[in-house]
Structure 1
Amino acid sequence: MNNNSVTPSYFEFTLFSDYGSLRSLFFSLCLLIYMTIISANAVIILTVCLDKSLHQPMYIFICCLCLNSLYGSAGFFPRFLMDLLSDTHFISRPFCFIQMYVIHTYKTQELNVLTVMAYDRFVAICQPLHYHSKMTFRTVLFLLILSVLYPVCMLTHFMYQSSNLPLCGYKLHRIFCTTWSVVQLFCVEIPGNSITGQVIAVTTIFIPLFFVLYTYLRILIVCRKSLSEFRGKVLQTCLPHIVTFVNYCFSVFIDVLLNQYKVDEVNPLVIVVLSLEFLIIPPITNPLVYGLKLPQIRGAISGFLRTHTILCSLE
């Protein structure tokens, strides 16, 4: 990497190509995906907020999961849609760091909320007599604030350290700004970068992962000793969370693998598909899984639709 006397004030995404007549098709498809993400998550959020019977910890956590999906999508799609129609793909350094901040806090907050949801299911199934005393409104609020503030503080510390470091390049072999791709362009190493990276990896990925595995191991032990009817109810409430958690872990695993390989040697189409996986699949599947699988949410949505249909017919 050659040192430059002047630090670039912008980055260039190198994976965008001239799609010619297909540009409008790709733009329309991505816009449809974005509108689907907004609509599906907004339906779940409005349903939980408007239906008082859903003002319970489990549904509040689902609502927060959908809010986080909207947050992460807003950090990626508007800029991505602009790049699809643009002939140049430059992004200023401040906007790159903002995008990087939003996307990475989205990923960590997603995992944190899924971990809190696992704890909620653990208390509800393994300690049902203590559920209402443990999962109070104050506890739920504290867990949600902690889930949001922890990644915010960690990423803010990284941004503060790296915001003024000199760059020896400006080309990002990505379709959006990622921490790893930007770090590779720094002319100097971030002080304590390796130690900080290890701490972040352990506290943000491995501890939540092991905690979720532990809670479901305890839930399985309880289910083995219970009646089949009870096991059916447990499966009904836990299956959406298991599907969501496995899907998210798969997405993060792909993203980690993508950062470990020399992306210059990988097919650009493969990089684009893998990069989009965690930004598209979880925000779409989360509201669909919870909306279709949980009868309480499904019933509330059906009730709102029937009420709307009746009001429209009366008009």
Structure 2
Amino acid sequence: MWNSSALQFVVLTGYLDVGALSPVFFGLLACLYVVIVFLNVFLVGVIALNAALHRPMFLLLMALFVNEVYGSAALFPFLLAQMFRSVHVVSVGACFLQIFCQYTYATIEFGTLAAMSYDRYLAICRPLQYHVLMSGRRVLALVLLIWAYAFVRCMVTLSLNLRLTFCGNSLPSVYCRNYLIVRLACADTHINNVYGLVGIVLSAVLPLAAIALSYLKILAVCYSGSAHTRLKALSTCTPHFLSVLNFAFGCSFDIVASRFDLDALGAAARVFVSVYYGTLQPLLTPLLYGLSLRQVRLTCTRMLTRARDGHTPERTHTQGKDTCTHLSTCT
């Protein structure tokens, strides 16, 4: 049972004393947050309002953009609220809420990226079965399953934390992390640690393995074709590959930062490592997909042109072939 007298608030000791530069960092962080929200919401609107983009790959992209808004909302407002405080204190309830949002964001991100790699595998390696295996309804069901799993998994994590009695309230971080909270416990945390490792395997390692397997099969099929096909395969897979690589490294940095002593890096480097995945990924995702995917880029251009000329965007329909040459519609 939760012992409210054991831990009522948490003190975050990872913040740097930047003195008179606080307004500068606040402005930069606020601008970054505004840009992230604008880009992701704009691309969600682009896909939602254009029937030409109502296809599995773009629906998965829309789900990814929504998750970037959700994940950034779990971190940026919190950091901005703490920026001008001399003592960085947060209530236990708010701390646990942030842990829940951050963990669900990461779980959904890995799951959605894995679903996108499966979509590309079907479109390239099994084109004749693509529309049967990856319909709009199946994409919706897959997205709902990913979100449901993430919420259930993180609810279990919080329930395991609520049974603990804590002996301290100081976290060497700029935001709340589950592992650091568990380290404050006086009681045995064996179950928490085991469940945490299982969660990492199910939520990160398995999706990354599925992504790697999908890309190995894509490369095997496309590299057996012409040079043109190989070029198209490379161009359509590059944004997704970079997104996966960035997020995987970012999460690895966060895990290392929370579990090991990084004093040798310096205070500024420790802060950067700890917030890397939560700040760069939401910005990188819309830039990668919004600027590199030809259909999204052209649709954005048409919408902006019509808005400038005072016309209402029209809902158009296009057809694409899900073969290896279908890669050209994604670049």
Alpha-carbon distance in structure 2 between the residues aligned to 1:50 and 1:302: 14
C-alpha separation in 2, matches of 1:179 and 1:195: 13
Partner of 1:143: 142
Aligned residue number for residue 280 of structure 1: 279
Query: Per the alignment, in what secondary structure is the counterpart of residue 85 of structure 1?
Result: coil
| 2:328 corresponding residue in structure 1 | none
Q: Which residue number corresponds to residue 161 of structure 1?
A: 160
- Note if contact 1:173-1:263 (Cα within 8 Å) is conserved in structure 2: no
CA contact (8 A) 2:179 2:259 kept: no
Of stretches 96-105 and 256-265 in structure 1, the one that deviates more from structure 2 is 256-265
TM-score (norm 1): 0.94
Q: Which residue does 1:210 correspond to in 2?
A: 209
* Mapped contact 1:236–1:294 kept (Cα < 8 A): no
Structure 2 equivalent of residue 307 of structure 1: 306
Question: Could you tell me how far apart the structure 1 residues matched to 2:284 and 2:48 are?
Answer: 20
What is the letter of the counterpart of residue 209 of structure 1?
L
Distance in 1, Cα, partners of 2:155 & 2:12: 24
Residue 72 of structure 2 corresponds to 73
Between 1:118-127 and 1:180-189, the stretch displaced more is 180-189
Taking the aligned partners of 1:142 and 1:11, their CA distance within structure 2 comes to 38
Moved more, 118-127 or 79-88: 79-88
- Which letter does structure 2 place at the counterpart of 1:64? A
Give the paired residue count: 309
In terms of mean alpha carbon deviation, does 111-120 or 224-233 score higher? 224-233
Distance in 2, Cα, partners of 1:91 & 1:264: 24
Which aligned runs of 4 or more in structure 1 are off by greater than 4 angstroms? 263-266
Structure 1, unaligned stretches of length 5 or more?
A: none
Task: Point out the more displaced range, 16-25 or 113-122.
Answer: 16-25
Residue 63 of structure 1 and its aligned partner are, at CA, apart by 0.9
Corresponding residue number in structure 1 for 2:260: 261
CA distance in 1 between partners of 2:263 and 2:170 (Å): 11
Aligned to 2:182: 183
Counterpart for residue 326 of structure 2: none
| Counterpart contact for 1:100–1:177, Cα < 8 Å | yes
Q: Which runs of 5+ in 2 are unaligned?
A: 312-331
Q: What TM-score comes out, normalization by structure 2 length?
A: 0.89
Tell me what 2:192 maps to: 193
- 1:81-120: CA deviations, max 9, x gaps? 0110222311000110000100111111101100000000
1:1-315 alignment to 2 at 5 Å? 6-190=5-189, 192-263=191-262, 267-311=266-310
Alpha-carbon distance between aligned partners in 2 of 1:32 and 1:6, rounded to the nearest angstrom? 39
- In the aligned structure 2, how far is the partner of 1:207 from the partner of 1:247? 17
Matched with 2:317 is none
Once residues 189 and 51 of structure 1 are traced to their aligned partners in structure 2, the CA distance between those partners, rounded to angstroms, is 54
Measured after TM superposition, the shift of residue 154 of structure 1 is: 1.0
Distance 2:76 2:34 in 1: 10
Say what the alpha-carbon RMSD is for the aligned residues: 1.8
Q: Give the Å deviation of 1:266.
A: 5.3
Following the alignment from structure 1 to structure 2, what is the Cα–Cα distance between the partners of residues 234 and 274?
A: 32
